[in-house]
Structures are given as C-alpha cells and as structure tokens.
A and B are shown apart, each in its own frame.
Chain A
Amino acid sequence: MTTLLALLLIPLAGAALAGLSGHVDRTFPRVIALVAMVAGFVVSLALLAQVAGAPVTVNRPWIPSFGVSFSLYVDGLSAILIVLTGFIGILAVLISWNEIKERVAAFHVWMLLLQTGILLVFMARDLMLFYFGWELMLVPMFFLIGVWGHEDKLYSAIKFFLFTFVGSVFMLLALLYVYYQHLLQTGVLTFDLAELLKTRLTATEQWWVFLGLFVGFAVKVPLFPFHTWLPDAHTQAPTAGSLILAALLLKTGVYGLMRIAMPLTPQGTEMFTPLVIGLAVFGIFYGAIAAFPQRDFKRLVAYSSISHLGFVILGLFVGNASGYQGAVLQMVNHGLATGALFLVAGMLAERTHTRSFEMFGGLWRQTPVMGAFLLFFAFASLGIPGTGNFIGELYVIGGAFTFNPWLGVVAAFGVLFAAIYSLRVFLATMHGVESTAFKRLADTSTRENLALGSLAVALVLIGFVPSVVTGHLFLQPDDTVPAKGRDRATIASKSGVAPALPPALPGHAVPNGAHGSETSMNNQAHPAPEAR
C-alpha cells in the first residue's frame, strides 16, 4: 500500500520541486526529474516483487455520495506495466537532456505529471479514479506536443486532444451507464470495478456499453479507423513525447480494454470479437503498408506502431491464454523496440535537424555505434528470434491459430510485412550512398548509449527469458482474461508458479455469472480435477 502511494507521490512531488527549481538553474529540473524517475523505477521493482504474493490494494473512501473511492489494485499485469512506465520515464528524462532547451522546468513538470497520470491509470480499480487518471494523461501530453513539438505541433496537439477527448466522453457515458444499472440492481453506489463486474447487463446493453468503452480505448490504442491522430502526434512530438506516447500511452488503451471493457461486458466482447479481430488484422497490414513509403523517419515508426498494436489487439481478442500472453508480451516489447526507434530518430534529428530519409544515407561510417543499435532495434521490430518481439508474435500467432487456423496464417504474413519496413529504416539511414549533407556527425554519447543499451538488454532478456514478463501473469485469479478456465489453469501450473490465492478482496471473488464460471479463479479456489 505504501508502495502504491509512494509511486504516485514521487512524480507529483518531483513535479512541484522541478517547477519551483526552474528559477534557480536550468539543470535543476532535469536532475530532480531524473531522481524522481529513478526513485519511481526502484519502487516499481519493489512493487513487482510484492505482487508475486498477493495483489497490492488501497481502498479509501473519497466521494462517498457519488460512490467514488480511492481504490487502487495492482496485480501482476499492472505491475509489469508500472515497471515499464518507471523504466521509460528514466529514458525520457535522459533523452531530453540536450534536446529540450526552452522552458526546461515546465517540460519536466508536465512529464512528471504525465507519469502520475499513467501510473494512476495502471493502478486504478475505481473507475472514476481511472477516468481522472485518463484525463490527467491528456493535458500534459497535449502540452508536450504543443509547446515542445516540431513544425506542425499545434495541429497535431489539437488533433490528439480532440480525438482522445471525444473518445473519453463515450467511455465516461458507458461507465456511468454501468454505474447506474448497478445502482438500480443493488442500490449500492460504487465505481469499484470489482463491484461493477457483478452488474447484470442484457446482451443489448452489453453491446452498447462495449461500444462506448471500445471507442474510448480504441482511439488510444489506436485501432484502424481511429488511428489518424497517431502519425501526426508521433511525428511532431519531441523525442521524449514520442517515446512515452509509443511505449506507455498506447498501452493504456489496451489496458483499458483488458481490464475494463472485456470483463465488464463478456457478451458484448463476444459479439464484437469478429469486428475487432477484423480491424486488428486489417490494422496490421494497413500499418505496415502505410509505413513503408514514408519519407519521415518518425512517421514511418508511427505507422509501424499501428501494425504492432494490431498484433496486441489480435492476441487479446482471440480469447485464449496464448494470445493473452502474447498481447502482454507485445505491449512491453513494442514499448521497448519502438521506443528505441524513436530515440534513434530523435538522436539523428538532434544532430542533423531533419527526419527525412532522403537526407540520410550511409551514415554508418560516421556513427557506427548508433548504426549498430539501429540495426538491432530494426531487427527486433521485425521480430527476429532472440528478441522479445519474436516470442510475443509467436504467442499471438499461436493464439490466433487456435482461434482459427486461417487467422493464424494471415496474421503470420503480417510479420513478413514488418520485415520490409523495418529493413528500410536501417537501409535508408545507415547504408547506401553516403549523404553529403552531413560531415562528421557525432556518434552516440555515453548517456545515449546507456538509454539504447538498456533497452536492447531488456529486449534480449525478454527474448530469452520471456517469463520475466509472463511469469507475472496468472499469479492471481484475476477476473480480466476472457480465457477458458482450463486453458489458463494448465498454463499456470506449467509455468511452475504456484497459483497464489489473494486474501479475499471484497467483491473480487466472484465476477458475474457468464464470465465467472469460466475463469480459472474458480478452478483455483476449488481445484477442479482436470486442472491439476
């Protein structure tokens, strides 16, 4: 409990200090932000160790007349994403060290506030609190793009804001509807997800509620028809903004689908599954094909994000444990690999003041270390064995294959497409005729090597020992995965981790009928013969 509060308070306090210290010296805010991020990361690691036993929770009344409570709940899935958030936070500060020269204090204040918002989203069990966190992410990102962005920053910032905001209104309406139905049925005022899961909704209601939530979350993911803000926002954001956007903000959308939309409306999810899978698969190819001809480095990577996130959503909606694990793995891997590509793009832009492939070429001779990193991350992005992306995609495709063999076959071709654009990134910058525009570009500094190196190590680590991520899933009988109970129980026992039982969290024990009977929770609580 103290860990959770500490995690939220560290960036907040950091933001306050960084804001105040801006008057004194321009380096102070950077140092303070770095210290806060590192401290947050350390605490998040402690949290990861803590959740192995039981989910960490906080539950305090906040606005009782509205049924809002300050209710946090962190299990393995949240903890993984929180650790990722802490890690990316450090890199974001490191990478902005030289890039941001104007309004340094304000930049770091917004970044730390953004960190708070993201952490709140990954922790919140109370849906109103979740919504607060959701909106809290919106403002800082709007400012990061709008103030410190590149040439088209205003357009992109406003587009980002309006897309996400309109989505969040639909989400809020859907949440309020569930809250209201729950109130009608039980007479209890609450926004606690564990309680709301008991709400009985008819199929039609679930259809609408899922639609509302889906629009809110799919904009953030972004799934195919809602994606148009992403290339602009990514391209125009400062490097740290692109990094956080890719590595963390997109994940909040997926997390919302996993944690809120799918468990709240199992039938709605089922009804929408064909459509969502269709959009996801289309997105995989659309993103890849749109990425290939881009002239702008960051824009290419942005489109590749759409493709990668298509895999994540596919894995999530095929509804089996393999797909689910793959989705979570891909969330982390995409954060690391795509984040790294944005970092390289930022480093190049910092040196050459352009992001255009036409200006690059043959840079390997001048910047061999950066070239090596770029080569590695391009390979990681296309899913070479030995990196986490390979394992993640394998899991997702396996899950898709179980769902429908043809779907698996089609999805597997998506990987092929990834190879084309990933290789182009490397070839167009490092190989080819040496660009005459740039002479003697500085190779990566120690600070940059540290950032890229740590990302590479993390990717390789996941590639060889995927259980650093997956080992934290299925620890507790969580009520989030629409998976078949038997399937999941098998995996839990195979992975060698003894399924731990959480202390009886009020309301958490039994989710609603159609859903609960199939979750592994019941299997673990009352061991079914076939599960052991």
Chain B
Amino acid sequence: MEHYARLIPDFILSIGATVILLLGPLRDSKPLRDFLRWFALILLGASAVTLVVVNRGVDSRDLLFAFDWLTSAPLGVLFSLVFIGCIAWTVLAGSVPEDNAGEWYSTLLFVAAGMVVLARSANLMAVFLGLELFSIALYILIAFFYQRRAALRAGAMYLVLAGFASSFLLFGMALVYAHYGTVDIGEIRTAAVGKPMPYVAAIGFGLFLVGVAFKLAVVPFHMWTPEVYEASPGVVTGLIASASKGAMLAAFIPFLFLRATHWQILWVFAALSMIGGNLLGLREFRVKRILAYSSIAHIGYVLTGYLAGDAVSVGARFLPGITGVSAVFFYVVAYALAILGAFGVLSLLDRENDVTLRDLRGIGRRSPLLAFCMLVFVWSLASLPPTAGFFGKIYLFAAAVNQGYLWLPLLGLVGSAIGIYYYLRIIVHLFMMPSDASDIKVKSTLLQEWVLLATAVATIVAGTFPETVLSLMAWR
C-alpha cells in the first residue's frame, strides 16, 4: 500500500489530465477556460508537493513494485520538479487557446506525466513508457493549431521521425535485454561495469544512443529541429527545447556507465553539435530557427559535461564541488529559464511563424519591457555574465577539464564565440534597427508580462547566486 502511495503524483497528473479533457467540451466560455487553466496549475502544484512528500527520505534503492519501475533517487525527483515547473510556466505564459482549451491543458498535463515517469525511470521499460507518453502528447501540441499547414506538416514530421528513432531505441533495448537478461538499469550497470562489453550489448547500446541522440537533437540527428521549432506554437517550442530534452537527459544520467564503452561516440556528438549548431545558426535569418540551431549547440555543451560523469574529482581540481552531473542539472535549469523565456516572448508576436530578424525591428521601442526580457534571455543563451548561462557553461567545462577532457571545452569555447554573432544579431534587430516596414504587433496580457519579467529576474539571480540552484542538489 505504501508503495502505491508513492504513485500519487503520477495519479494526480494522469487522472487530472483526463478530468480536464472531459470538462473541456462542456461549454465554450471564458470562465471555463480560466477555470481549467487554474485547475491545471493546482494539479501541477499538488503533484509537485506530493512528489516531494512521498519521496522524501526514501532509500533510492527501494524500488517500486515487483516491476521496479520508478526510483526515489533525489536527482530524478529534482529533475521531475524542474519539468513540472516548465509545464506550469507554459500553462501560465501561453495564451489561452480560443477553442479546445480543455485539450490544450490536458495534453500539457500528459506531457508532465510522461516526463515525471521518464526522469525517475529505473528500468528500460519505464524509459520507453515515459518517453512515448510525453512524445505522443508533444505531437499533438506541435500540430495543435492544425488549421495551419506548416503545423500539421511539422507534427507529422516529428511523429514519423520520432517513431523511427523510437524503434532504434526499442531495438537497442531488446538487444541489451537479450544479453543481460534484465531490464533493470541498476542490474545492467552492475553487470556491465568493469568488463569488456560483448558485441550484442555494445550494438544494443549504440542503437539506444541513436534514439537518445535523436530526442536530444544532436548533430547528425538534428535535421528535424529547425522545421519543428519553426512550426510549433511558441511556448510548445520552448517546451521541446527545455523540458523534453531535459527529461531525456535525466533519463540518460543512469546510463553514465556507457561513458566507459561509448565515449568516442558521445565525444563526436558533443563536438559536432557545438561546432555544427553554431555554424548553422550563422546564415539563418528566421528567429525561431536561429534558436533551434543554438539549442543544438547547447546540447553539445551539455554532453561535454555529461562526459565528465558523476565522479567527484579528487585532489586540487578546478571547481572540486562540481561533478558533471551537477553541472548538467544546473545547465538544464539555466537553459530552461532562458529558452522558455525567449520562446515565450516570441509567442507573443501576433504572427507566430516565419518571424524573421527583420520583424523584430522596433519591438525595443514599442514594448521595452518584453524587449528587455528578451535581451536577458539571449544574453543567458550567449553565456555572458551576469546571467545563469555564464556559470552554467563554466560548470560544464570545468567538470570536463577535471576529468581530463581538454579539447571539448576548447571546441565549446570556439563554438560559443561563433554563436555570439547570431545572438548579437537578435539584439541588434530588436533595439537598434529602424523599424521600417514591420507590421508585426505584440499582444500580451499583464500576467504574461509579469511571468516573463519574473523569468528574466530569475535568470539573473541564478547567474549571480548560482549556488542556490546547486544547493538543491543536496536535497534528500
């Protein structure tokens, strides 16, 4: 019974999502839409609180059920809280859809449910279940405004390609199971560490990596990113960039033992993404695609930190308190703040798609507050102080240097230097270009402005007091 109690957060999310879905079609009125929004927020809050309560002080090896699907490991819980926060942010900052409000909030809650499962998965099955749960919800969200052809196209594209990638993932898992005879990640780790890996398992994990790399949009599996980012509703793009990738990373952290056998692949992924993503961004003039390419580069930085692993460096090391994992956690938080905010601002423009740099002109003059928020977000993406991105990158690279990786941080530095150019372009167009023919309008509610301002402030606070974020890692 006690074990069932630990599923309460998941029950709240999935049952709540179903209830909202049923309530939605009742009546098409503004009060109902507003009610659904706050109801969704309350559900998310309740799930976050119960998540903390039921997992507090539980031995992380004490797995749930006979199936051993979910762990209470602090890091997984912490990541889950971050993703619930991202969903709550999206509920708050996204514009209320005129119709289908019920479906919108319900789907968002399903995304949260999937991510919460994925982040705490202890088992290959749970990885797949969580991944599919939120991916399917994301297909719907991408094509939510299905009247637009581009949205449908992007939804279908993501569906097909993600399905393709999932099949790789699943086949990889099957091979791994075939060799080790278990789907429990802990048992696999015990069996795999310190021994040469036979071909079956090595190939299995290789295919598994392909699936992961697709979800993370690592070069060379990044092709879907610009298209999907461009066509999705702004806030959904923010979710794909932040929480969706973050959840995959969170699920990937128990597989740190793969660094021993597959580090070359991860190394190449990281290097290609850092350089490729930034180079691709240079020629682009559509803002959402620029941010799409930048997100590819950012995953490269994160993989650099991932390669550093969870080993606490011994002796006098650069930033001894920082492990690769804690750096990755910090970066996921810092990046989520910045990219959610940036896409949040873009979603307020009255034309969602094909927004070019030119269209940004004059926004600095017409809505200075939002433009200032955008400045902070872009600044953080460019990793300049005093924003969260600065320490995020310092932590990642420091962790990598501590573990003897020197070339990756150097490549990362070169990549960041290239990236400065297109970030600067966004700022220049926002503030400094004369607004000639731009007809684009900014529509924002007071709530949205406050949410964005709060996000911008949080970005700066996390950049000036990074330890407050890191201290969360010590949570038990």
Contact = CB atoms under 8 A, between A and B. Distances in A.
B318 interface: yes
Interface string A81-93: 0000000000000
Among B316, B317, B320, B386, the most chain A Cβ lie within 10 Å of the Cβ of B316
B321 interface: yes
Interface stretch (B98-106, B128-136, B236-244, B428-436): B428-436
Contacts, number: 61
B424 A161 contact: yes
Interface string A413-449: 0000000000000000000000000000000000000
A184 B318 CA distance: 9
A351 B190 CA distance: 80
Interface stretch (A129-137, A218-226, A237-245): A129-137
The 9 closest A-B pairs by CB, nearest first: A146-B432, A65-B321, A187-B316, A184-B316, A135-B385, A183-B316, A132-B385, A180-B318, A63-B467
B428 A63 contact: no
Given A135-B385, A146-B428, A154-B432, A169 B319 contact: no
B192 to A, nearest CB: 32
A66 B424 contact: no
Contacts of B322: 65
Contacts of A1: none
Contact of B319 (A65, A106, A153, A158): A65
B428 A154 contact: yes
Given A63-B391, A158-B428, A187-B316, 17 more contacts: A63-B466, A65-B470, A66-B391, A66-B466, A103-B368, A131-B385, A132-B385, A135-B384, A135-B385, A135-B386, A153-B432, A154-B432, A157-B428, A161-B424, A165-B420, A179-B318, A180-B318
Nearest to A187: B316
A14 B361 CA distance: 28
Interface in B429-469: 431-433, 465-467
B149 interface: no
Interface string B311-328: 000001111111000000
A497 interface: no
B351 interface: no
Contact of B318 (A139, A143, A161, A183): A183
Contacts of B385: 131-132, 135-136
Interface in B80-103: none
A264 to B, nearest CB: 18
Interface in B293-324: 316-322
A147 B429 CA distance: 11
Interface string A117-147: 0000000000000011001100100010011
B472 interface: no
A64 interface: yes
A146 B431 contact: yes
B413 interface: yes
22 contacts: A63-B467, A65-B322, A66-B319, A66-B391, A66-B394, A131-B385, A132-B385, A139-B379, A147-B431, A147-B432, A154-B432, A154-B433, A157-B432, A158-B424, A158-B428, A161-B424, A166-B417, A169-B417, A176-B318, A183-B318, A184-B316, A185-B316
Contacts of A135: 384-386
Contact of B431 (A143, A176, A180, A185): A143
Interface string A153-194: 110011001100110010000001001100111010100000
Nearest to B425: A158
A136 B432 contact: no
Interface string B359-380: 0000011001000000000010
Contacts of B465: 62-63
Contacts of A66: 319, 391, 394, 466
Interface residues of B, number: 28
Nearest to A179: B318
A179 B379 CA distance: 25
Interface in B383-418: 384-386, 391, 394, 413, 417
B43 to A, nearest CB: 36
Contacts of B384: 135
Contacts of B386: 132, 135-136
A169 B424 contact: no
Nearest to B397: A176
A179 B322 CA distance: 16
Interface of B: 316-322, 364-365, 368, 379, 384-386, 391, 394, 413, 417, 420, 424, 428, 431-433, 465-467, 470
Contacts of B417: 166, 169
B401 to A, nearest CB: 8
A470 to B, nearest CB: 35
A59 to B, nearest CB: 17
A169 B413 contact: yes
Contacts of B470: 65
B365 A103 contact: yes
A280 B268 CA distance: 45
Contacts of B432: 143, 146-147, 153-154, 157
B379 to A, nearest CB: 8
A106 B317 CA distance: 43
A441 to B, nearest CB: 29
A162 B466 CA distance: 27
Nearest to B321: A65
B427 to A, nearest CB: 8
Nearest to A143: B431
A139 B368 CA distance: 16
Given A147-B431, A169-B413, A64 B467 contact: yes
Contacts of A187: 316
Contacts of A153: 432
A172 B199 CA distance: 45
A226 to B, nearest CB: 17
A454 B377 CA distance: 42
Nearest to A65: B321
B386 to A, nearest CB: 6
Contacts of B428: 146, 154, 157-158
Contacts of A162: 420, 424
A143 B431 CA distance: 8
Contact of A65 (B364, B365, B433, B467): B467
Nearest to B326: A65
A495 B384 CA distance: 45
B368 A106 contact: yes
Contacts of A63: 391, 465-467
B68 to A, nearest CB: 35
A18 to B, nearest CB: 13
A64 B379 CA distance: 24
Contacts of A131: 385
Contacts of B364: 147
B274 to A, nearest CB: 16
A65 B391 CA distance: 12
A35 to B, nearest CB: 22
A131 B383 CA distance: 13
Contacts of B424: 158, 161-162
